[in-house]
Amino acid sequence: MAITPPSQRIWWKEPIAKIELIWIAIAFTWGLFMFFMMIYWHGAGEQNLSNEAYKTTAQQYARKAQAVIDEYTVRQENGFPVVRPPEGSDVYLIARLWQWWPILELEKDKSYRLHLSSMDWQHGFSLQPVNINVQVHPGYDMVVTVRPDQAGEYGIVCNEFCGIGHHNMVGKIYVVE
Amino acid sequence: MANSAVFRTCPTTGLKVDRSAESLIKANAVAAVVFLAVGGLFGLLVALTRWPAVHFLPADWFYLALTAHGLDVLLVWIIFFEMAVLYFASAVLLNSRLAGPKWAWTGFGMMLVGAIITNIAVLRGQSSVMFTSYVPMMAESSFYLGIILFAVGALIGCFVFFGTLVVAKQEKTYQGSIPLVTFGALTAAIIAVFTIASGAIILIPTWLYSLGIVKYIDPLVYKTIWWGMGHSSQQINVSAHVAVWYAIAAMVFGAKPLSEKVSRMAFLMYILFLQLASAHHMLVEPGFSSEWKIFNTSYAMYLAVLGSMVHGMTVPGSIEAAQRARGLTKGLFEWLRKAPWSNPAFAGMFMSLVFFGFIGGISGVVMGTEQINLIMHNTLYVPGHFHGTVVAGTTLAFMAITYLLVPLIFRRELKFRKLAQWQPYVFGIGVAGISLFMMGAGTLGVARRHWDMTFADAQLPFDYPATAFLMMGLNGMFAVLAALGGVMFVVIVVGSVFFGKKLAPDEKPSYPEVPPSAAAVGHYGSSDTLKIPGTAMLVGIFFIAFVLYYFVNWKYLSEIWPLS
């Protein structure tokens, strides 16, 4: 029994039942398949993180973000600037207690280099309802190239706990035709 | 060698039981159940708050309760119980005295004091940082100090376990190799050492940071090493509860492992690869290459998953072989249909096995896929997954073996037997519901650790779909059911331990029914005669579910915005 020492002292020389061997082979093969599937998707799939990231500081990042906001703000909404950057440009989103700043307006089927960093604690960039979730750290500037493929109004929820105002931290991205 | 240990002989198994080991098992198990009750209560408060129609606690209390819930059940309940399992699997199963009972009591004391210190820190309200306490968000310094003390206490317990293995070997208290269950416990203890070392490496500097002595802690470094503790500690649970599955199969059915070699290799896979799982938490973080992510998140090509899939066959397979040897050979499933479903030890163990595999296991592998993590990270899918592994898997398995330990170790007859018969079902179905509905809500994007899914006070409006609210309502209802199952468990255990009929020294417990261990059946290694077609069918169903669910999620992923 499993709670007593093995009854055959030389248990490592016992043959293995065929059904166990078959299952081990299937499970091992499936594991290999799942492993290579991740690599395959880097070539064939369209949803991959580039892992492009830089060390930064809150001041440095805020300065870059402000420059883009100053240049491309098209209107104000609820006290937030709405920024409409050109295609292919670097777009900065600031995560801070408890805001996603500014509101972005992007064009459908155009690519943007979206930068994410936090001014204070960790935050979670959770774009809804598409459900894209990326962690946002202070001191790190992470670049995700996004190509919105459907027009509409998207919410950015914070999904990393960041204190008592966490549940009020909502941002917005517009995708226009 | 001087040996002052006092033994009694167990009338059921004939094993010699070291009295000090027995006292330590009792103390650790009682502490475990107390913290399960406290942590479970906090969990109920959390679930009632996330039930939109109830929305029970105010925001500050919600975050406090959630911090306490994670701490008390994920860490304190489980590690205390694991200490009991370690002492049982070493001293009791090996017929040996416990090495250094004084050390074991010191460890126990440190764990208890540490757990209380951290609980007080959380209840004071200035440490609502969640169980993970990601820097630079800071708790009171006593929050970290308590966890450090708790971890060191647990480490001492692991070394008492290792010492006991050495003592038993030297004093020749058993013949041949250690039992498989002890081997599983050894796996858990080895992973625990790695886990606690990771915890010390990151929590001691964080504690010093909270005191102003250390000036900076990098949030990415913190997170990587913290999860070296946080995720690996869940692998202690996996090893321990798999050992418990084997133990229950042996104690209830007299089942033998199909093959010692295969089962031990599967445990070895855990030791070698499970620690890579820290990467599961770093898949959408800046600063890591995809090569690093893919290798680590897959436990080096899914070799630890292979271990679990092997146990998923060998545990029910050994039960089937034992039942068939008893003559339950009709069709595919007579062995399972005529299993003792009213015995809470078996019912709990078998549900633990099924839920751990189908809910916790599959969701974990899918969520741990590098790219698929993008559509799940930090949504409620994550707690949905780990309630499937840690609650439906570990907690349910630990509850199940408690029904055997109360008569054998506490020497009390089990009380409230009708209640005990239903308890695993109420708790198990409740937890399965919690897991599934949280996973459902997470698929719809609902954030974890979040007080208000209506965003009533946010500067900008956002609405989750109505289905997400339905999911959270159902989650709340099933949480109430699980809480009821938890209360039933505490009532049965506390009632039996304090008020159950005392067993005379040579008296065998009358419940749950355990066949005489002499009737051990199943002839392992018999590659010609072994027939387990029912298990093969169950494993086939599992595999099909796994493959389908895996590809469904790649399909979901392919529908989101292109990212690069």
pLDDT tens digits, B78-115: 999 999 999 999 999 999 999 999 999 999 999 999 99
- Name which of A23, A119, A169 to mutate to probe chain B: the one with the most chain B Cβ atoms within 10 A of its Cβ: A23
Of B174, B524, B558, the CB nearest to A5: B174
* Start-to-end CA span in chain A (Å): 68
Task: Give the whole-angstrom CA distance, residue A105 versus residue A108.
Answer: 10
- Domain shared by A112 and A158, yes or no: yes
Q: Are residues A84 and A63 in the same domain?
A: yes
Mean pLDDT by runs of 10 across the 564 residues of chain B is 76 89 96 97 98 97 98 94 96 95 98 98 96 95 97 96 97 94 97 91 96 95 94 91 96 91 95 89 95 94 94 95 90 95 97 97 97 98 97 97 94 94 98 98 97 96 97 98 98 96 88 57 49 95 98 97 95
pLDDT of residue B2: 45
Say if the Cβ atoms of B449 and A23 lie within 8 Å: no
Q: Which of B169, B451, B459, B464 to mutate to probe the A interface, most A CBs <10 Å?
A: B459
B557 CB neighbours in chain A (<8 A) are: 45, 47
Q: Which of B59, B134, B563 is facing A122, going by the closest CB pair?
A: B134
Question: For residue A62, is it within any domain?
Answer: yes
According to DSSP H, which parts of chain A are helical?
A: 18-44, 58-72
State the Cα–Cα distance between residues A158 and A56, nearest whole angstrom: 21
Residues A71 and A121 in one domain: yes
- By C-alpha distance, the chain A residue nearest B300 is A35
Whether chain B has a CB inside 8 Å of the CB on A43: the answer is no
The number of domains in chain A is 2
- Inter-chain touch B374–A140, beta carbons under 8 Å: no
Cα–Cα distance measured from residue B176 to residue B178, given in angstroms and rounded to the nearest whole number:
7
Domain for residue A2, yes or no? no
A86 and A22 in a common domain? no
Find the CB nearest A2 among B128, B180, B290: B180
In a domain, residue A116? The reply is yes
Please state, as a whole number, how many other Cβ atoms lie within 10 Å of the Cβ of residue B214. Answer: 13
CA angle B270, B256, B389 (to 5 degrees): 40
Coil, strand or helix at B447: strand
Q: What whole-number distance in Å separates Cα of residue A157 and Cα of residue A100?
A: 9
pLDDT, residue B325, reads: 87
**Inter-chain CB proximity B137 and A162 less than 8 Å:** yes
Distances (CA, A) of B504 to A72, B29, B412, B413: 84, 22, 9, 10
Contact A5 B175 (CB under 8 A): yes
* pLDDT, mean of residues A43-49: 96
Structure tokens at B46: 């959390």
Quote the DSSP letter at residue A168. Answer: G
Tell me whether residues B137 and A163 touch, CB distance under 8 A.
yes
CA angle B106, B110, B115 (to 5 degrees): 150
How close B92 comes to chain A (CA, Å)?
10
- Domain check: are A128 and A168 in the same one? yes
Interface test with A, best of B49, B438, B530, B560 (most A CBs within 10 A): B560
Instruction: Point out the least confidently predicted range of A16-20, A114-118, B550-554.
Output: A16-20
Is A138 part of any domain? yes
Which of B221, B365, B197, B356 minimizes the C-alpha distance to B280?
A: B365
| CA atoms of B447 and B441, how far apart (whole Å) | 9
Q: Which of A101, A103, A42, A12 is nearest to B260 (CA)?
A: A12
Q: How far is CA B341 from CA A35, B127, B425, in A?
A: 38, 44, 10
A124:B377 CB<8 A: yes
Both tokens of B474, joined, read 């159902």
Inter-chain contact B219–A137, Cβ cutoff 8 Å? Answer: yes
Q: How many CA atoms lie within 13 A of A1 on its CB side?
A: 24
Q: Is A57 helix (H, G, I), strand (E, B) or coil?
A: coil
- pLDDT of B474 reads 98
DSSP annotation of B173? -
B459-A120-B208 Cα angle (round to 5): 140
Q: Are residues A22 and A94 in the same domain?
A: no
Six token digits for residue B89: 């699997």
Domain assignment present for A6: no
d(CA B519, CA B80): 33
Looking at the structure, do residues A100 and A170 belong to the same domain, yes or no? yes
3-state class (DSSP) for residue B210: helix
Residues A57 and A143 in one domain: yes
H or E, element range at B62: helix B59-69
Same domain, A59 and A38: no
Q: Which residue has the tokens 């855990």?
A: B270
- The whole-angstrom separation of Cα B484 and Cα B54 is 18
Longest pairwise C-alpha distance within chain B: 74
The residue assigned the tokens 């082979």 is A25
Give the pLDDT confidence score for residue A8 in this predicted structure. Answer: 85
Residue-averaged pLDDT of chain A = 96
Other Cβ atoms closer than 10 A to B152: 18
Instruction: Say yes or no: A40 and A120 in one domain.
Output: no
Which CATH number goes with the domain that contains A110?
2.60.40.420
CA B344 to chain centre: 18
CB B450 within 8 A of CB A167: yes
Closest among B365, B384, B241, B385 to B315, alpha carbons compared? B241
Q: Are A61 and A100 part of one and the same domain?
A: yes
Shortest Cα–Cα distance, B216 to chain A (Å): 12
Structure tokens at B81: 């119980």
B252 chain-A contacts, CB cut-off 8 A: none
Is residue B173 within 8 Å of B229, Cβ to Cβ?
Answer: no
Q: Are B503 and B509 in contact (CB under 8 A)?
A: yes
CA distance B219 to A117: 12
Domains for chain B: give ranges and CATH numbers: 7-325+336-558 (1.20.210.10)
Query: What is residue B543's predicted lDDT score, i.e. its pLDDT?
Result: 98
Model pLDDT, residue B177: 95
The distance of A62 to chain B (nearest Cα, Å) reads: 18
Does some domain include residue A7?
no
User: What is the distance between the alpha carbons of residues B434 and B424, in angstroms, rounded to a whole number?
Assistant: 15
Mutant choice from B46, B129, B371, B467 vs A, greatest count of A C-beta within 10 A: B371
Plot region of B335 (φ>0 → left; ψ -120 to 50 → alpha; else → beta): alpha
**Is there a contact between B59 and B110 (Cβ–Cβ < 8 Å)?**
no
Q: What is the DSSP letter of A95?
A: E
How many angstroms separate the CA of residue A57 from the nearest CA in chain B?
Answer: 12
On whether the CB atoms of residues B411 and B508 are closer than 8 A, the answer is no
What was the pLDDT predicted at A15?
Answer: 87
Q: Is residue A10, in this structure, part of any structural domain at all?
A: no
User: Domain containing A142: what range?
Assistant: 52-176
A165/chain B closest Cα distance in angstroms: 9
- Asked if the Cβ–Cβ distance from A34 to B447 is below 8 Å, we say no
Q: What is the pLDDT of residue B517?
A: 45
Place of tokens 């897991």: B435
More confident residue, A163 or B277: A163
Asked whether B453 and B469 are in contact (CB, 8 A), the reply is yes
Q: Are strands A80-83 and A103-107 parallel, antiparallel or unpaired?
A: parallel
A38 and A104 together in one domain: no
